Amino acid sequence: MRRLPPVPLRRAGIAAAGRPEDTGPLLHRLLHENCLAFWYPSCIDHDLGGYLLARDERGRGGGRGWERALVTQSRMLWFFSRLVAGGHGGPGHLEAAAHGFRFLRDRMWDHEHGGFLWSVDARSGRPVRDGKHLYGQAFALFALSRYAATSGDVEATAMARTLAHLVREKAHDAVHGGYGELFARDWTPWSGRERNYLSEVPAGTKRYNTHLHWFEALVEYVDLLGDDGARPWLVELADILTDKVIRHRYAAGTDAHFPDWTPMPDVASYGHDVEAVWLLRDADRRTGVVGAERLDRHLALFATAMRWGWDETEGGFYWSGPLGAPATLRGKVWWVQAEALVTALWLYRETGREEYGACYLRLLDWIVNVQVDWANGEWHREIATNGRFIGDKADGWKAAYHNGRALMICIELIGA
């Protein structure tokens, strides 16, 4: 394979403020001029319903995108709902959320067996992949909970409650803790491999990534819709995310595990570790189920990501690497930068330590000058080690969730 020559990093020449407390105006610009303007209103599909999520690297739509994936349809519903809830959006964005809710309710909910289909064809309405994956159910619950709380829609509230308890009934592992992840349409356990769903792993694998997002969804559900009966579910998941998926010798998490939580050989994912830190800290603030005494463990996760995953020369976080060794996958992926930005600012605010404030400022500099596409909108999916941009701006995995959420939360942290 011919190796492409490197290109100079194309920096935008934007100077960030000298203190984290002064970055609010730049964050507002990123949210409204770069992120929101890219997605709204062009992602609203008035003809077929749901959201149009097929945009190439330059932001151009193509002839693809008929398949509507539960994960990103839900992420966009959550994004528009959260914009309104946080005071970042208006009535038009609430209607954009209602538009997305109607598509999930009418086209993606399985009226025979319950739960949501993984993906459907927007033209025919038929399922493309009809399996029930915990990862997809997690984002549906996440979105329904936020939309119901923001809009007051009683139907969305009822659907969220039904979904939360259905997943608990069908997927929870009462012996080893945690949840099974992939099921057939009728909720019988999947056999073989997970081809064309989340990843190519054997059926029965339990993942850090999936359980992190089911935890995130349940926090939203318990906090916003007040189901105290689900609070013990959060306690169990907090233990899993702070203990079972963490290789304590290295202070880093690994993704894939056997059903009894024995780890499979794996690498450290810096993005998931830094994302877990702020999600766990936020969950403790909102529900009190994590435990403030776990802060040292969370700080250790961030320290490991900084030691092995941070680019000291240019700034930004790499993707992943072997436990206790420098990163080997050294692309700069958009969602890793977004989650790390929140965590650095969160830890700066919680601890007052300048090292986290400095990390936040350096990472924000990387984001606004390299990761962000100021010409065409949105963030580049990945900056390769040769300086080239890789990947589409919108598809079945990339939506306004990671960076949109990061910007809203950072604005709110600065404002507070």
Compute the distance between CA of residue 34 and CA of residue 19 in angstroms, rounded to an integer.
Answer: 22
SS3 84: helix
pLDDT band, very low/low/confident/very high, at 193 (cuts 50, 70, 90): confident
Split into its structural domains, the chain has a count of 1
The pLDDT, as a whole number, for residue 120 is 97
Residue 28: C-alpha distances to residues 25, 358, 400 (Å) = 5, 20, 15
Whether residue 3 has pLDDT greater than 70: no
Compute the distance between CA of residue 281 and CA of residue 181 in angstroms, rounded to an integer.
Answer: 25
* 163 assigned to some structural domain: yes
Strand-pairing partners, residue 254, are 268
CB under 8 Å to 95, separation ≥6 — which residues? none
How large a percentage of the chain has pLDDT more than 70?
97
Range of the domain at 294: 20-415
* 201 assigned to some structural domain: yes
**Contact predicate 75/100, CB 8 Å:** no
Whether residue 2 has pLDDT greater than 60: no
Nearest to 55 by CA among 416, 397, 402: 397
According to DSSP H, which parts of 177-328 are helical? 208-225, 231-239, 270-287, 295-309
Please give the model's pTM, rounded to 2 decimal places. 0.97
Compute the distance between CA of residue 150 and CA of residue 83 in angstroms, rounded to an integer.
Answer: 10
* 15 assigned to some structural domain: no
How large a percentage of the chain has pLDDT more than 90?
90
* 9 assigned to some structural domain: no
> Averaged over 314-320, what is the pLDDT?
97
* 214 assigned to some structural domain: yes
pLDDT band, very low/low/confident/very high, at 194 (cuts 50, 70, 90): confident
The pLDDT, as a whole number, for residue 200 is 84
The pLDDT, as a whole number, for residue 1 is 41
> Averaged over 185-190, what is the pLDDT?
96
The pLDDT, as a whole number, for residue 44 is 97
CB under 8 Å to 232, separation ≥6 — which residues? none
Helices 334-351 and 354-366 pack at an angle, to 10 degrees, of 150
Whether residue 4 has pLDDT greater than 60: no
Whether residue 132 has pLDDT greater than 50: yes
**Contact predicate 142/208, CB 8 Å:** no
> Averaged over 62-80, what is the pLDDT?
89
User: pLDDT for 7-41, tens place per residue?
Assistant: 667 788 998 789 999 999 999 999 999 999 999 99
Compute the distance between CA of residue 110 and CA of residue 36 in angstroms, rounded to an integer.
Answer: 31
The pLDDT, as a whole number, for residue 15 is 84
CB under 8 Å to 319, separation ≥6 — which residues? 269, 270, 271, 309, 327, 329, 330, 331, 332, 333, 336
* 407 assigned to some structural domain: yes
* 37 assigned to some structural domain: yes
Average pLDDT over the chain, rounded to an integer:
95
According to DSSP H, which parts of 188-247 are helical? 208-225, 231-239
CATH number, position 214: 1.50.10.10
267 alpha-carbon distance from chain centroid: 19
* 75 assigned to some structural domain: yes
The pLDDT, as a whole number, for residue 214 is 98
The pLDDT, as a whole number, for residue 6 is 66
Compute the distance between CA of residue 263 and CA of residue 255 in angstroms, rounded to an integer.
Answer: 8
The pLDDT, as a whole number, for residue 248 is 97
Whether residue 170 has pLDDT greater than 50: yes
CB under 8 Å to 318, separation ≥6 — which residues? 270, 309, 310, 311, 327, 329, 330, 331, 332, 336
User: pLDDT for 73-112, tens place per residue?
Assistant: 999 999 999 999 999 999 999 999 999 999 999 999 999 9
